[in-house]
Structure 1
Amino acid sequence: MAGLFGAASSSSSTSQTTGDLKSDVALNQPPTDSVSDLAFSPTSDFLAVSSWDNKVRIYEIAQNGQSEGRHAFEHSQPVLNVDFSKDGTKVASAGADKNVKVCDLGSQQDIVVGTHDQPVRTVRFFDSGSPMVVSGSWDKTIKYWDMRQQGPAATVQCQERVYAMDVKDNLCVVGTADRYINVIDLKNPTKFYKTIQSPLKWQTRVVSCFTDSAGFAIGSIEGRCAIQYVEDKDSRQCHREPPANSVTNVYAVNDISFHPVQGTFSTAGSDGTFHFWDKDAKHRLKGYPNVGGSITATTFNRNGSIFAYAVSYDWSKGYQQNTQNYPIKVMLHPVNADECKPRPSMKKR
């Protein structure tokens, strides 16, 4: 069967665990500064891209991988996170300007739906009878916004600054400074269902909910990834180079994305590589060659046939390392059927 962007590459038995980047297509007219987040529409192949250049850009992706900019809207400071509504008609964004914005793609109008006391790090849509937005900020709160009313519908105090958040169905997971992970049942949104300390030793960089909302993955700055069930726990190591001369190079896991059909997931990091994993079998399905710069954000489209990843500076080495010639691009990787498929279990029943 033909791949999304043309003929599917045949997998050679010698490189079963090494992936191929040769069919990847670059997004036309990418942002002019580092990419902070990527989000695909759940109803079409529209991709939202947020950036440190203060903008959110919406692109339409064609079957052949070609892309065209459809709309853009701005904050007054860098945009740190972006999400589509469940019906694909709206895009929410989190700004360093302390504002939460929602853009209606039909009218192409954007409004400020809420404001925090500090930069807003993360934003997600969810449904509670009507579409709602939840945002997490460095002001140590998460706030719920109903677009039909002024002011927050509710505010929940966290232990520390919010660094990461994800929502799937009624599961909301919030990662803060000091490695706190708060689990919220959105049917009871103003209380923490449970709070755990991250099983990883260093700062949380990303949390990502399973497709079945039974748990979530945590990625940290020390290059590890943990798989956590809401009612159980387990962990797994990811982005570390093998020791050379007794030195281990450690790279942050910047993003984790779950395949919407297979339930497998990707990790991507400062080392410029991404990997696909089977969380249940606890092994890596594919690793990919270095893409020439840090990968700052990733996402799958609605049926898992496209994996988008952003290559740009991730600020892990400070302001000085962000040079003029550092790449800024968003790549679209056509996902072949075998790349993200869980391997059959070899265990005896």
Structure 2
Amino acid sequence: METDDQLGVFSTRSAWCNNVLKDFPVCEPPSDSVSALEFTPKTAPFNGLCAASWDQTVRVWEVDSSSKTATPKSLQKMSAPLLDASWNGDGNRIYASDCNGSVFEWNLDANHVSQRKCHAAGVRACRWLWTPKTPLLMTASWDKTVKFWDTRVPQSVVSINLPERCFAADVLYPLAVVGCAGQKILTYSVQNGFVEVCHDDPSKLSEQHLRQQLRAVAVLKGNNRPSGYVAVTTNGLMYVGNIPHISGIQTSAGYKLECHRTYSLDGSSCDIYAVNDVRVHPIHGGIATVGSDRKFNFWNKDKGSNTFKSAFMDQAITKCAISSDGMLFAYALGYDWSMGHEHCDQSLKPQIFFHPCLEDMRPK
């Protein structure tokens, strides 16, 4: 691990900010695009945010919304670019997955990192899963498998073959959702064994499905149980899918919403942007999306309406997260390569901001 002095992690200067919303930034953001953002769980001893990045670091900030500050707390340098990160249930460990198939466990109390080889290719998603018996870590990979781990033992509890490479995944007991290449979404019940309950194809709802790719998924909750999922794609679409087998209630069929597209004044043309991430508000169920169009949007999924649309930022938004109390929305600016290498502006550096979101995300 590099020292704090080498990395300047405890510098007191504020991040450069040209944010028209006056959202407050973190100090010392990563030096490359952010690949994962996660707030601490409710049980954590502090209110914090972690970010994993292509610069091979995992960084943690302590967040104080009243003073609008995010103070650097800790940092670890890993051995490869990182694709995802997740807190454990107690908020004292972080699991980060890399592009080589490994998952790192960072014990913050002991400031110790251990590494295990979990997959034969990059681990696109790692998610902590609470279950009534024992907590598990879910990992999903480009090697076309999803695995569940009891982190106390070296072998996975179960390994499931996927039809294609995993591009996104999320979990909320008892529902696990995995989005694969080929626009395939698989959902599993982990309540009584690991049983596939739905194999969906959102591309059938889009005339442009041959040009799209799944980018992120998030579990939806209704009546205090998972009821379905929301998935976002590279062609400016958000797809809402319902799983009545899991929720125990009858729900409507899936549907799509256009979320990061810009139409000309006469409606004759449309600029289509990738939707890079999606999150669901933990209290009232509003949906947040971020995209290559340099904006974030909040949505009422039931009405298919936009409740808040941000101003344009100076870069694409690569990742986002919502605090466990539902008060803060974090989003990361950086280049997402959607416009090719020729449009990469080296003078623009990655940044992370916080926006108050409780009312802006409330369905109206």
Q: Using structure 2 for the length normalisation, give the TM-score.
A: 0.85
Are residues 74 and 154 of structure 1, via their aligned partners in 2, closer, same or farther at CA, if it must alter by over 3 Å?
farther
**Which stretch of structure 1 is more off in the superposition, 119-128 or 231-240?**
231-240
Kindly provide the amino acid, as one letter, of the partner of residue 40 in structure 2. S
Measured in 2, the distance between the counterparts of 1:292 and 1:99 equals: 33
Indicate conservation of the 8 Å contact 2:147/2:158, yes or no: yes
Query: C-alpha separation between the residues in 2 aligned to 1:184 and 1:113?
Result: 25
What is the match of residue 209 of structure 1?
219
Give a deviation string over 1:177-227, Cα, whole Å, max 9, x none: 001100011224533221111244221111111144111111000001011
In the other structure, the counterpart of 1:284 is 306
CA gap 1:226/1:151 in 2 versus in 1, 3 angstroms: same
The 5-angstrom pairing of residues 11-30 of structure 1 reads 21-30=20-29
Q: Structure with the greater relative contact order (CA < 8 A, sep ≥ 6): 1 or 2?
A: 1
Superposed CA deviations along residues 227-278 of structure 1, whole A, max 9, x for unmatched, are 1111332222211101368431110010111111111111110000011111
Question: Structure 1 residue 265 and structure 2 residue 278: aligned?
Answer: no
Of 315-324 and 246-255, the range deviating more from structure 2: 315-324
Paired residue type of 1:22: L
Q: Secondary structure at the match of 2:302?
A: coil
Match of 1:237 among 258, 266, 283: 258
Alpha-carbon separation, structure 1, partners of 2:182 and 2:258: 20
8 Å CA contact retained: 1:156, 1:191: no
Partner residue in 2 for 1:192: 196
CA distance in 1, matches of 2:141, 2:293: 27
1:30 corresponds to which letter in structure 2?
P
- Give unpaired runs (5+ residues) of structure 2: 1-18, 245-252
* CA displacement, residues 22-67 of structure 1 (integer Å, 9 cap, x when unaligned): 3301110000001111000112421010100011111111232211
Q: Secondary structure at the match of 2:182?
A: helix
**Counterpart contact for 2:31–2:349, Cα < 8 Å:** no
- Alignment check: 8 A CA contact 1:241 1:248 kept: yes
SS in 2 for 1:235: strand
Q: Deviations over 1:289-317 (max 9, x none)?
A: 01111000011111111110000011213
Aligned to 1:70: 73
Which whole-Å CA distance do the structure 1 matches of 2:273 and 2:189 have between them? Answer: 32
Instruction: Give, in whole Å, the separation in 2 of the partners of 1:97 and 1:219.
Output: 25
Task: Say how many residue pairs are matched.
Answer: 323
Structure 2 counterpart of 1:136: 140
Q: Any gaps of 5 or more consecutive residues in structure 1?
A: 1-19, 344-349
1: CA distance, partners of 2:341 / 2:359: 40
Report the Cα offset of residue 114 of structure 1.
4.0
Q: CA deviation at 1:327?
A: 3.1
What's the counterpart of residue 7 of structure 1? none
Work out the CA distance in 2 between the residues paired with 1:156 and 1:322.
38
CA distance 1:292–1:264, change in 2 (3 Å): same
**Superposition map of 1:107-146 within 5 A:** 107-128=110-131, 129-146=133-150
Change (3 A) 1:74 1:97: farther
1:234 maps to a residue whose letter is Y
Secondary structure of the 2:271 match is coil
Decide which of 60, 84, 104 is 1:81's aligned counterpart: 84
Greater mean deviation of Cα atoms: 103-112 or 169-178: 103-112
CA contact (8 A) 2:100 2:120 kept: no
Write the distance in 2 (CA, Å) between the matches of 1:241 and 1:22.
20
Query: After alignment, is 183-192 or 72-81 more displaced?
Result: 183-192
Range with bigger deviation, 252-261 or 239-248: 239-248
Letter in 2 for 1:131: P
* Farther-moved stretch of structure 1 (98-107 vs 247-256): 98-107
The one-letter code of the counterpart of 1:228 is G
Query: Structure 1: which amino acid aligns with 2:352?
Result: V
Shift in Å at residue 142 of structure 1? 0.7
Which residue among 151, 164, 170 is the counterpart of 2:168?
A: 164
